[in-house]
Chains A and B, each alone.
Chain A
């Protein structure tokens, strides 16, 4: 067991300084403003700048376009990217998809893409969720039909976040509707500039932009197939299990569980704590001296402390649900000032609580809903039996 501060070598210290100085320079107020406006989770200039440093895939060797960082430097970089609030959604989907590309793509295609991905010029998004229901990924309906050396795609996907900033989508398709549900799926890396692809924006009240993507007679070469035909479920598991935190080295340099929104919640809690220290009630007493306020705030702090140490899949559920409950409580504690928008007269620290409240709600849905994770916890952590439903094994529409 070890929670000690990591002792840095002079080289690691120098690296930390370098990262901070670099991020100070590239992550300008204009970058934050762009993110607030677009909700893209992506900034091309920043992404390319990180790529030029090898910091998009920092563990890769320098000759592959990475930075050859050791685990400590990787952690330094990860923490500094969070501290600087670098928009990172598309960087993270690109990383997830790369894991599958490396395992399952045509080796020549992978070799061709690798330097482009490392430099930040090629980016990937996740085309998993169907309009008819995203939780049942294996129930995908978008059809892919073979046509000589090509495949023809027809159908649509919802929630393909970052599609408008990416070159490829990692798409799950139905290639055999007659086969058992999990045996009729095939994955593709579809170039998003293909004729017949149409991307439409969807906006969330969390401020994010995501997309509906329509595929009409889209032709994809067989070279862009990922893994074997009808073995798409296996192909997809690579990045999914990476997303669920499997296979991390056990050196204490990663988060303990999957955190969803805990940092945004902590930002809001910290802002409320500073607000309480400078704000008086109508009777002249300081909010920070009110024992009722302290009791209720303390309950929220306990929730974030617990979220940070709840392991694996369980951390995903705990962090998200305690954030959603807790941010509503925090707003009650602070009052209407908490919901003043960024830039409004009296907004607290740039509207950080307003933002955290809106942002919280999506964390229970994307990346697999909290219910989907509770199913996994029941089965894999507790060993409870799985309920057999009509669509458990068969493709039913």
Chain B
């Protein structure tokens, strides 16, 4: 492995990327107060907000121009996903964008791709390979009639008359059991090509989810820091005490690393997809860790209040794990990261 490669290490955003970040940042901050997140529980879906996300271009931007999209890159998409995570917006944007891109790449029917771009049909992706008739929990399947899944036979589009029944869960996400035998199915691709399409989509899902988890971590941190500045003990702000300040310093360190690794992985996936295919997985591992640590530390800094349903940190704490767990055990990703190193040294 070339450890001394002469590559640039430039994480700065250009004007367009800056505009994406600010545009979606403003949008989500204004449109998604914590009351809206609470009102959308337990399903975790707000249909009005979804329409506004569609109007912002959220569902179409990541599709190629031929498919009615704007050809936004994964770098743009992770910027959007981080802003979504900052407010834990109850919309299935990550799965939908990833599944729509997969559908377009796999040659899904034009009408369906167009309806997905318009946000009229919500599509999602089964993240684990289908084995036999085994059912699996699929993110956002409680609001999506269309589920893309991969098995030994190939990549298949499964379509139900109605989305499957919601299963209540800790992260208040629109989770549902996906039964590969239910509804209609259409084979889209087979062989190694199908597997490659599937693996790429899973990596994209993990990358965008990693970005959303960075957003969760950032908001959790902000809540903790604000509390630490105003809450007092022994005549000083608690944030002046190292026992409080250091864990918060650790959180901003972990989350800054996670954010930059997400961006770096998105750059590689966009410009040199074959060079570092393991980076999205590494970013997911780190972001899941950062969000877990950030939400716990922030809750704890807020003392007993941080343990109450009423405190906004509860929304972030419950989703940090509730969202990251959908991607499966990060141990699986760590093994792939190690395998990539073993192949390179």
A375 and B242: CB pair below 8 A? yes
The stretch of B59-67, B87-95, B329-337 that contacts the partner chain: B329-337
Among B11, B12, B249, B334, max chain A CB count under 10 A is at B249
A1-B267, A309-B261, A385-B239 are contacts. A256–B9 as well, Cβ < 8 Å?
yes
Q: Cβ of B8 < 8 Å from any Cβ of A?
A: yes
A295 and B331: CB pair below 8 A? yes
A306 and B267: CB pair below 8 A? no
A298-B336, A382-B252, A386-B240 are contacts. A274–B257 as well, Cβ < 8 Å?
no
A298 and B237: CB pair below 8 A? no
B235-276 interface bits toward A, Cβ cutoff 8 Å, 1 = contact, 0 = none: 011011110011011101110111011011001100110000
Q: Cβ of A106 < 8 Å from any Cβ of B?
A: no
A310-348 interface bits toward B, Cβ cutoff 8 Å, 1 = contact, 0 = none: 110010011000000000000000000000000000000
A1-27 interface bits toward B, Cβ cutoff 8 Å, 1 = contact, 0 = none: 111111010000000000000000000
Q: Cβ of B3 < 8 Å from any Cβ of A?
A: yes
- B6 CB contact (under 8 Å) in A75, A254, A311: A75
Report chain B residues within 8 Å CB of A382: 221, 225, 239, 245, 248-249, 252
Report chain B residues within 8 Å CB of A197: none
- A250 CB contact (under 8 Å) in B12, B228, B254, B257: B12
Minimum CB–CB distance for B240 against chain A, Å: 4
A296–B338 Cα distance when bound, in Å, is 8
A177–B3 Cα distance when bound, in Å, is 50
User: What interface size band does chain A fall in?
Assistant: 35 or more
The stretch of B28-36, B97-105, B131-139, B278-286 that contacts the partner chain: B278-286
A375–B246 Cα distance when bound, in Å, is 7
A250–B248 Cα distance when bound, in Å, is 28
B341 and A297: CB pair below 8 A? yes
A4-B8, A5-B7, A383-B229 are contacts. A301–B337 as well, Cβ < 8 Å?
yes
A1-B17, A377-B252, A383-B229 are contacts. A301–B282 as well, Cβ < 8 Å?
yes
A364-381 interface bits toward B, Cβ cutoff 8 Å, 1 = contact, 0 = none: 000000010011011001
The stretch of A31-39, A76-84, A206-214 that contacts the partner chain: A76-84
Report chain B residues within 8 Å CB of A5: 5-7
A298–B17 Cα distance when bound, in Å, is 31
B341 and A269: CB pair below 8 A? yes
Among B8, B225, B236, max chain A CB count under 10 A is at B8
A302 and B245: CB pair below 8 A? no
Report chain B residues within 8 Å CB of A311: 11, 256, 260
A374–B334 Cα distance when bound, in Å, is 28
- A314 CB contact (under 8 Å) in B11, B13, B245, B257: B257
Report chain B residues within 8 Å CB of A255: 9
- B342 CB contact (under 8 Å) in A3, A276, A317, A386: A276
Contacting residues of chain B (69-94) with chain A, CB-CB under 8 angstroms: 75
A294-B338, A301-B337, A385-B229 are contacts. A378–B246 as well, Cβ < 8 Å?
yes
A6–B14 Cα distance when bound, in Å, is 19
Q: Cβ of A148 < 8 Å from any Cβ of B?
A: no
Report chain A residues within 8 Å CB of B335: 291, 294-295, 298
Minimum CB–CB distance for A99 against chain B, Å: 23
Minimum CB–CB distance for A281 against chain B, Å: 16
B257 and A1: CB pair below 8 A? no
A270 and B253: CB pair below 8 A? no
A251–B339 Cα distance when bound, in Å, is 32
Report chain A residues within 8 Å CB of B258: 306
A1-B13, A374-B245 are contacts. A298–B267 as well, Cβ < 8 Å?
no
Q: Cβ of A384 < 8 Å from any Cβ of B?
A: yes
A322–B250 Cα distance when bound, in Å, is 12
Q: Cβ of A263 < 8 Å from any Cβ of B?
A: yes
Report chain A residues within 8 Å CB of B261: 305-306, 309
Instruction: Identify 24 residue pairs between A and B in the complex whose beta-carbon atoms are under 8 Å apart, listed by A's number.
Output: A3-B7, A3-B10, A4-B272, A5-B6, A8-B6, A251-B8, A251-B10, A252-B9, A253-B9, A270-B3, A270-B345, A277-B345, A294-B338, A294-B339, A295-B331, A298-B333, A306-B257, A308-B9, A310-B253, A318-B253, A374-B245, A378-B245, A384-B229, A385-B239
Closest 7 CB pairs of A and B: A252-B10, A298-B334, A252-B8, A298-B338, A309-B260, A310-B257, A378-B245
Chain B residues near A (Cβ < 8 Å): 1, 3-14, 17, 75, 221, 225, 228-229, 236-237, 239-242, 245-246, 248-250, 252-254, 256-258, 260-261, 263-264, 267-268, 271-272, 279, 282, 285-286, 331, 333-339, 341-342, 345
Given contacts A296-B334, A382-B248, A384-B245, 18 further A-B contacts (CB under 8 A): A1-B17, A3-B271, A5-B6, A6-B8, A254-B9, A270-B341, A274-B345, A288-B342, A298-B336, A298-B338, A302-B285, A309-B257, A371-B246, A374-B249, A377-B252, A382-B249, A384-B228, A387-B241
